[in-house]
Structure formats: C-alpha cells, structure tokens
C-alpha cells in the first residue's frame, strides 16, 4: 500500500491498496514532530487486563465503512480501528489533559467525562486532568475544574454536564494560547458538528505551531444526525424518554371524544428520534419529520387524514419533529435568517403552530368537535441522565478516545462504524448531516406501522427518487432490488 497523491496530503491522509481498498487515516503527532520518544503501554501491566488474550490492537487493523457490498464492488473506505497500541507517545507522568463540553445538552455527557477521567487515571496512570468550565470560552476565561476519579464518581447519575456548556465563543488563537500556556498536551472535546469543526481548526493551529498536543473529539448530538458513525450517544435515552410523552399524549387522546395528542420531539434537520420513538411506541397514528414534506389542506392532506382517523378510532396521536413543516409556517411567524450562537437556524415552534391550525380547521368545519392536547418534552428529554445502553456506549467512546490520544493520534473523532470503534477524520463527520431517507426500508416500516399516508405529492416522489440519497448508518444505503420494489410501493 502507498499514500495516494493528494494536494492536501498534510490535511488528509489517504492510503490506497488493492481491490479498491482506501484507508482514510487520521493524523499522528509523528507526522509533524520528528523523533518523538515512545513508551511501553502501561495497559499491559494493568491487573484489569491480565485476563485479556490480546492486549493491543494491531497497527494495520481497519474498520470498513460499508459491510454490505456487491460481488464485484471494491472494498471501499476503511477507518483506523480504535483501541490500545503497544507503544504510547506520552509518558503518563507528563500528561496534562483537559476536557471541554460545548453546545446543547445531551444524555450521557457526564458519563463521557467520567470515563475519560477514569480511563486516563486507571488504565494509564495519568493524574493531571482538568475540566474547562463553560465551553470553548472557558479556555480563555481561565475557568478550570480539577477532575479526579473521586470528583467524577457519581456524575453519570446526573443529567447535563458538570463542566457547564455554551454555544459559540470559539476564538482559535486564544484557545491554543491557553492550551500552550497551561502545558496541556491532551485535549478532549465533546460536542456536535459545529464543535467538531472548531476542534479541527484548533488541531490545525496546534499543528502549525508544532505543539506536542493530541486533540480528540467525541461527537455529540441527540438528533443522531452525525454521519459515518452507527449512532450518537444519548439517542437511545432520548427515544426511551420520548415514550413517556407519547404515552401521556395517548392517555389524553383516548380519554376525550375526538381526542388528539400532539407531541413535538427533537430533530432540527433529521427525524430519527421521532421515527424511532414512533416505531417503538405503536400508539402513534402520524409521524411528521423534516425529511418528508407534508401539506395540510386538500385531498391527501393532513387535515383529511386526521378527520379519517378520528371517525375510525375516535382518537389520534401525532408526533412531529421540531424541524418538520418549517416551510409551512407563515412568513409573519418565521425568523428568516436568524441564527443562534452556534450558527443553527432559529426554528419556530411548529408544534404550537400546527396545533392552532388543526383547531382552526375543525372549528370552521363545525361538524366535528375535537379535544387537542399539545405536549413539548424537548428540554426534559435533553436533561435526563443516560440510560443503561448509552452508559455502556459512552464508556467505550471515552476509552477509545483515551487510547487514541495516548497512542499519538490527533485531529480525530471516535465512534462505532458497523459495531467496531474507529478513529475518523474530523472532515468526515462535519461535511454533511445524516438524515432519514424516506425512500428507504425504515421509513416504509414506519408508514406501515402508523398506516399514515406518505403525504408526498407526485412531484415530491419524483424529486425524492432523482436526488442522490446520502448513506445512513441506521439503514441500508445500497440500491438493491428490494429498495427499488419499496420505492414503487411508496409511489
């Protein structure tokens, strides 16, 4: 295998091999700092690992991005497998690590913090770890929190983040100056795509200065809209907690004549929480997500479907993602062009808006009295502690990040790809957003479960078929005969 020619070779390491094998590698400290000393990995002397048959991951181990391939298709893109290496590039006694959390809240933040601290302390013997208080701006506002296993012992039982968080506040020079002034040599950055873009810029400035500092990212988004990785931490917890809101809406709806329970769930641009909560609940009659356009009036519209379901069942539960139907909100209500400090477009409360439109429509009809209850559990869901599966997942994420940083890798983010944790270049998780593919099997399963129409007009179906569908981690992204058949069914 040899390195592929690339004008941006310093920014992206691409290794190619036979059969279409392509390794999208991550940077290493030795790429720009010559003659770095190495040390034996202390994990091999750790009693906890004494029963492990193989302490270390082989240097050549990779993880394939796709596991479903055609007979004659190339081997495709691979990423470097995460895990402990035989040699480390930091003397544990010299390590001074810091952790920062940025952006919105998400179940599991405290678990990731805890496991980074405990992983450094118990696996590698690192004693100096500190938290940056208040997001990126905490770097230059001199706010730090000393972190030890005793300090973080019980934090996984709480929601939120003990380090505090904020949006924006990214001033690269000040942040790197602070890292340099404090002799920090490992930086763990937990946040969404905007935060990871910031981490990539921090890494580039660190590399430009030639600093012996490893930058590791842990991707965070409750919406599950980060590409490449199987799913984001906090997603399972969010789906589980969403069931409580849907259950309450179902109780309200069934307790009144023509009762409608309307639940708004998170999902600015991707409707994964709404889709999976709907599939898990089985009490939902209609799920509306950003990826699937819908319309209100006329034949085949939402109002007609609501009337049909009420006449048929006497009640109805609707789940809507916060980013759905934004194009339908009138110009008088829309905050055109306005953004939050993270650069996200400000959304209107589509749940409140659509509940008023439904009430208005049926009041004009005067032939059907409805009882609508609107439930918005958004911030309640974000603030809960992570559930059991997310706690396990956060532990693996944190330990993989620690192994990578100690092994000298930098400028990477970590996450599971087809069930195996891998080190992924920053650009791969920030270049696009993962979205529900409405011509895929999973969305067809939801339509079958709720028995709702697709709400797609003919022109929408043609457009959806013509557009190139981005790969998703929670569904098959290859075009097969089954896919084509399901597309015909959806039509």
Q: Where in the sequence numbering do the catalytic residues fall?
A: 223
- Using the Cα atoms of residue 258, residue 263, residue 268 and residue 269 in order, give the sign of their dihedral: negative
Residue whose C-alpha is closest to residue 297's, from 365, 379, 391, 349: 365
57 phi/psi in degrees, rounded to 5: -80, 135
Question: Are the CB atoms for 387 and 107 separated by under 8 Å?
Answer: yes
Residue whose C-alpha is closest to residue 415's, from 426, 187, 100: 426
Pairing state of beta strands 13-16 and 186-191?
Answer: unpaired
Report how far residue 376's alpha carbon sits from residue 347's, in angstroms, rounded to the nearest whole number. 14
CB neighbourhood size of 248 (10 A): 16
């Amino acid at each position: 295998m040899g390195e592929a020619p690339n004008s941006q070779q310093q920014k992206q390491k691409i290794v190619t091999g036979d059969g279409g094998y392509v390794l999208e590698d991550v940077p290493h400290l030795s790429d720009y700092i010559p003659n770095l000393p190495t040390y034996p990995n202390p994990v091999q002397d750790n009693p906890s690992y004494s029963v492990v048959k193989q302490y270390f991951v082989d240097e050549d181990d990779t993880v394939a991005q796709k596991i479903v391939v055609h007979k004659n298709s190339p081997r495709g893109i691979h990423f470097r497998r995460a895990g402990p290496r035989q040699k480390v590039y930091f003397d544990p006694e010299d390590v001074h690590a810091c952790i920062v959390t940025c952006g919105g809240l998400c179940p599991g933040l405290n678990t990731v913090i805890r496991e980074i601290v405990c992983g450094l302390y118990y696996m590698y013997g690192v004693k100096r770890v500190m938290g940056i208080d208040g997001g990126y701006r905490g770097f230059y506002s001199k706010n730090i929190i000393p972190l030890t296993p005793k300090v973080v012992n019980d934090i996984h039982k709480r929601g939120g983040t003990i380090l505090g968080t904020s949006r924006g506040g990214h001033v690269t020079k000040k942040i790197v100056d602070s890292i340099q002034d404090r002799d920090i040599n490992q930086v763990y950055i937990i946040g969404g795509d905007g935060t990871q873009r910031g981490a990539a810029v921090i890494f580039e400035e660190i590399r430009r200065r030639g600093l012996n500092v490893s930058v590791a990212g842990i991707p965070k988004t409750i919406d599950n809209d980060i590409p490449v990785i199987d799913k984001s931490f906090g997603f399972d917890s969010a789906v589980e907690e969403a069931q409580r809101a849907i259950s309450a809406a179902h109780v309200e709806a069934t307790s009144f004549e023509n009762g409608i329970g309307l639940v708004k769930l998170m999902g600015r641009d991707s409707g994964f929480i709404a889709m999976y909560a709907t599939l898990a609940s089985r009490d939902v009659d209609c799920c509306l997500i950003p990826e699937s356009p819908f319309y209100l009036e006329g034949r085949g519209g939402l109002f007609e479907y609501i009337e049909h379901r009420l006449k048929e069942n006497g009640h109805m539960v609707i789940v809507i993602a916060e980013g759905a139907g934004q194009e339908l909100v009138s110009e008088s209500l829309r905050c055109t062009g306005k953004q939050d400090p993270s650069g996200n477009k400000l959304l209107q409360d589509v749940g409140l808006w659509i509940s008023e439109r439904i009430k208005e429509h049926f009041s004009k009809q005067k032939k059907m009295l409805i009882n609508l209850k609107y439930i918005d559990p958004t911030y309640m869901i974000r603030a809960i502690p992570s559930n059991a599966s997310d706690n396990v997942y956060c532990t693996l994420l944190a330990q993989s990040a620690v192994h990578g940083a100690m092994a000298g890798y930098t400028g990477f983010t970590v996450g599971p790809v087809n069930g195996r944790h891998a080190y992924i270049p920053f650009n791969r998780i920030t270049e696009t957003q993962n979205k529900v593919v409405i011509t895929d099997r999973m969305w067809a399963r939801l339509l079958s479960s709720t028995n709702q129409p697709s709400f797609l007009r003919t022109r929408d179906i043609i457009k959806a078929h013509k557009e190139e569908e981005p790969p998703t981690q929670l569904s098959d992204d290859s075009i097969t005969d089954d896919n084509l058949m399901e597309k015909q069914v959806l039509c």
